[in-house]
Structure 1
Amino acid sequence: MSISNIFDIAGSGMSAQSIRLNTTASNIANAESVSSSIDETYRARHPVFAVALQQAQGFDNANQALQRSAGRGVEVTGIVESQAPLRPQYQPNHPMANEEGFVFYPNVNVVEEMTNMISASRSFQTSADIMNTAKEMTQRVLTLGQG
């Protein structure tokens, strides 16, 4: 694995966590939106991560085989809607109430979303720290011949 792969892997992690943070922000922003029907109500969204694998087809030795099995980062394969039940509330005087007097709130758990936000932020910071460490290592290698 070359040093440039470290930057690619850490960069893909930062990109994935940015998408996670944006999705979490969208969920929190819509946590208290209401609708008069189940079909129109906002549903919490969550990104799906997967390992981005090496693209090389063949390999000649054990080192190449090891690199083949290692990932080259993370990728977001999609964003899925939560299937958790919505929160119906009886509010007959609400302007968005349906014929039975119910309004529907999203299935967003704000505490869970705040936890996701903290986790995404820390993962992003960890990837940034990895990039910093790799940069420092590269700079030290360049100064080895000076003396």
Structure 2
Amino acid sequence: MTTFGALGIASTGMTVHRKWLDAISDNLANANNATRTDEAAFQARYIVAQEMQEGQGVHVAGVVLGSEEGRMVYEPTNPLADEEGYVRYPDIDMSSQMTTLIMAQRGYQANATVVDRARATYEAALQIGRN
């Protein structure tokens, strides 16, 4: 694999991990948003990554949305509560979101390290050519 190939593949990985981080941050930001029981709850977003042809990296193939049913919580003092005292919250598990957040951060960092190392290798090759 060439230096440019490593740069290209790592940059596609960084893009996928950035979009994964964006989806996770949306999920975490909306995890405690209550809605009326007759409305849909916030749907968690999950990124689907797919390998590009001939090993040229990865790309986001799509986004899968979580359940719009969410979970019903008894909160009679909530202004959005129905006549029985229930509101609807998204079905988002904070611990699994935090786990995936760490995985996405580490993946982004790993790809950034590859980009940095490939850049340093390219600069060293240019220095050799100058001498």
Q: TM-score, normalised by structure 1?
A: 0.80
Among 100, 103, 106, which residue is 1:119 paired with? 103
Larger radius of gyration: 1
Tell me the residue number matched to 2:72: 88
Task: Write 1 or 2 for the structure with the bigger share of helix.
Answer: 2
Tell me the residue number matched to 2:125: 141
Report the Cα distance in structure 2 between the residues aligned to 1:49 and 1:111, rounded to whole angstroms: 22
**Within the alignment, does 1:15 sit opposite 2:22 as a pair?**
no
Calculate the aligned-residue CA RMSD, in Å: 1.9
Counting aligned pairs with the same residue, the percent is 31
SS of the aligned residue for 1:40 comes to coil
Tell me the residue number matched to 1:61: none
Q: TM-score, normalised by structure 2?
A: 0.88
Cα distance change of structure 1 residues 39 and 84 upon mapping to structure 2, 3 Å threshold = closer
What runs of 5+ residues in structure 2 fail to find an aligned partner?
Answer: none
Q: After TM superposition, what 4+ stretches of structure 1 lie above 3 angstroms from structure 2?
A: 143-147
SS of the aligned residue for 1:43 comes to coil
What runs of 5+ residues in structure 1 fail to find an aligned partner?
Answer: 55-70
Cα distance change of structure 1 residues 121 and 78 upon mapping to structure 2, 3 Å threshold = same
Tell me the residue number matched to 2:92: 108
Report the Cα distance in structure 2 between the residues aligned to 1:37 and 1:5, rounded to whole angstroms: 51
Cα distance change of structure 1 residues 141 and 31 upon mapping to structure 2, 3 Å threshold = same
Which residue identity is paired with 2:60? V
